[in-house]
Amino acid sequence: MSFFAILCALLIEQVRPLADHNPVYGGALAWTRWTSRNFDAGKPQHGWIAWVVAVGAPTLATLGIHWLLVLTLGLPFAVLWSVAVLYVTLGFRQFSHHFTAIRDALEEGDEPLARSLLAHWQRIDVAHLPRSEIVRHVIEYSVIAAHRHVFGVLAWFSILAALGLGPAGAVFYRMSGFVARYWAHKNGAHAHPASPAAQRAGTRAWQAIDWLPARITALGFAVVGSFEEAIDCWRNEAQLFPDENDGVILAATSGALNVRLGGGSLRTAAALADPLSRAEVDEPLAGMRLLDSGSTPGREPETAHLRSVVGLVWRSVVMWMVLLALLTLARLLG
């Protein structure tokens, strides 16, 4: 039933996307703040306790509701619960409007507007970037956002759903990513900043949790793109990026599309198109600049590459949906 839950959630999200500011995201933000304030006492064990509470409680609550529905009302209601959870955690429309607006501005030749939109989206200083660098950053942020909002959620949801854990994997993945980014961001805040111990716990847990989904995403891009070039770039260029898991995805994207990526460090704290992160609009990151690093081989980024990215992502979605459909059919027939 995972395939039907994912399909329904994606279709509903395309028709009626969830707004950035809504009770669910507000509740997740308030919960993360509360756990940090009450469980983070600064020692290493306290950081892990805070992380377990922040991520584990919503995950277990999601799982408990799933089992309760299965045991009382039956499987159809449990599937509806999975659709509801996926609607909140999964979807392109949670970030794609930023990508579309910047792409349209670049295609119309309005580079100042494109810079303004990119700066507002990621809260970084891009005032002096040339056009090709604007395109490069849009590609990088959009690909990582697609992974965090779609492919990573699909991976954890599908794995845990196959084990009978319902939609718990989707909540586990999204909350893990948000907690890690939010605590790192809160290090510079005045009210209840997260301790270094909590930041380390959140970052280490997130790196481990995102390890497999990142490679699944990279493999999907390689299959639907230029396979040999993507795998070669993955093997030889992933270390150029500051984050190991993001580097695997971006290197595979670079090879799959034959486009140069890298040359600037992607920020790991609140740098992605996450509605949960965007809930912190009162703490902008404006003025932060991107650091230089190496870049992958490939053609100079051009506006046409943005449409290639859209095609790459959607082909990968179709491929994984077809795979899930075949697995579901095999299970039903078996």
Residues 163-219: pLDDT tens digits? 999 999 999 999 999 999 988 876 544 456 788 899 999 999 999 999 999 999 999
pLDDT given for residue 273 in this prediction: 42
pLDDT given for residue 271 in this prediction: 42
pLDDT given for residue 222 in this prediction: 96
What distance lies between CA 151 and its chain's CA centroid? Answer: 8
Dist CA 273 CA 149 (whole Å): 9
Tokens of 180: 């890690």
Yes or no: say if 77 and 5 are a contact pair by the CB < 8 Å rule: no
Yes or no: say if 169 and 156 are a contact pair by the CB < 8 Å rule: yes
Residues 43-98: pLDDT tens digits? 889 999 999 999 999 999 999 999 999 999 999 999 999 999 999 999 888 888 88
Radius of gyration (C-alpha) of the chain in whole angstroms = 20
Work out the average pLDDT over 125-137.
84
Residues 88-117: pLDDT tens digits? 999 888 888 889 999 999 988 888 898 888
Dist CA 205 CA 173 (whole Å): 10
Q: State percent of the chain over pLDDT 70.
A: 88
Dist CA 49 CA 46 (whole Å): 5
Residues 12-30: pLDDT tens digits? 988 888 877 788 888 999 9
The structural domains of the chain, with segments of one domain joined by +, span 2-333
Work out the average pLDDT over 19-42.
88
The CA-based dihedral angle spanning residues 214, 20, 161, 248, taken in that order and rounded to the nearest 10 degrees: 0
Whole-model pTM above 0.85? yes
Q: State percent of the chain over pLDDT 90.
A: 58
pLDDT given for residue 153 in this prediction: 96
Dist CA 48 CA 164 (whole Å): 26
More confident residue, 232 or 333: 232
pLDDT given for residue 290 in this prediction: 42
DSSP letters, 184-247, are HHGGG-SSSPPPHHHHHHHHHHHHHHTHHHHHHHHHHHHHHS-HHHHHHHHHHHGGGSSSHHHH
Whether pLDDT at 268 is above 60: no
Q: How many CB atoms are closer than 10 A to CB 318? A: 11
- 186, burial (CB in 10 Å: exposed 0-12, middle 13-18, buried 19+): buried
pLDDT given for residue 187 in this prediction: 55
Dist CA 294 CA 40 (whole Å): 37
